[in-house]
């Protein structure tokens, strides 16, 4: 008996692999001396008022491709966010500098290369229509890269790409 492939997934060696899977394994706040380990299943971020929960979630969003904004001055000493992430069936090491420019480089390296394959290591700009970190994540998760009309007061034919953060927000 074979296992049927699921929508959005693929069948490999008799098991189901969800290509839309995104899992955080570990996040390090470089320069802040904090490492947060995530466990399989639901993880809850809790703490006292003003303990940094919202800031941590904003930094997680930055790790996943958005440009960090509205960060409090308490995190000015952070140099980068380093994360261990699984997409589909691949593990990645990501080093994301804490900069707010779209062309800031993000270093991505495959955590455990497949046997008989060269390990993948790339440096990509955070944002952009093609060849960016955000489109890399979309591709790894088998999510289509789409563009939507820009919000303007006058009609326009300009399109704006939907980012990884937008997809996560939906």
Buried b (16+ CB within 10 A) or exposed e, 71-96: beeebeebebbbbbbebbebbbbbbb
Higher local confidence (pLDDT), 3 or 70: 70
Sequence-separated (6 or more) residues with CB below 8 Å from residue 84: 24, 25, 26, 27, 91, 92, 93, 94, 111
What is the predicted pLDDT for the residue at 7?
Answer: 38
Query: Residue 137's closest CA among 44, 79, 26, 61?
Result: 61
* CA–CA separation, 121 and 106 (whole Å): 11
Sequence-separated (6 or more) residues with CB below 8 Å from residue 122: 107, 108, 109, 136
Mean pLDDT of 7-22: 54
Of the candidate ranges 30-34, 106-110, 147-151, 166-170, the one whose mean pLDDT is the lowest: 166-170
Domain boundaries, the chain: 16-169
Contact, 104 vs 95, CB < 8 A?
Answer: no
In this structure, what are the phi and psi dihedrals at residue 102, rounded to the nearest 5 degrees? -70, -25
What is the predicted pLDDT for the residue at 163?
Answer: 66
Mean pLDDT of 93-106: 87
The pLDDT of residue 170 is above 60: no
The percent of residues in the chain predicted with pLDDT above 90, rounded, is 21
* CA–CA separation, 41 and 39 (whole Å): 6
* CA–CA separation, 122 and 106 (whole Å): 8
Q: Is the CATH number 1.10.287 carried by domain 16-169?
A: no
Higher local confidence (pLDDT), 93 or 22: 93
């Amino acid at each position: 008996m074979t296992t049927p492939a699921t929508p959005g997934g693929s069948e490999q060696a008799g098991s189901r692999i969800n290509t839309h899977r995104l899992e955080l394994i570990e996040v390090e706040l470089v320069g802040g001396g904090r490492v947060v380990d995530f466990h399989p299943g639901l993880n809850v971020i809790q703490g006292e008022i003003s303990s940094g929960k919202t800031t941590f979630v904003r930094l997680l969003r930055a790790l996943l491709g958005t440009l960090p904004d509205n960060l409090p001055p308490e995190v000015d000493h952070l140099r980068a966010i380093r994360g261990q992430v699984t997409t589909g069936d691949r593990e990645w090491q990501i080093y994301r500098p804490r900069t707010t420019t779209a062309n800031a480089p993000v270093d991505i390296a495959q955590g455990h290369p497949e046997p008989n394959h060269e390990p993948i290591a790339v440096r990509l700009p955070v944002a952009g229509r093609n060849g960016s970190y955000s489109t890399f994540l979309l591709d790894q998760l088998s999510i289509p890269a789409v563009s939507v009309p820009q919000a303007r007061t006058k009609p326009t034919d300009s399109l704006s790409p939907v980012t990884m953060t937008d997809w996560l927000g939906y």
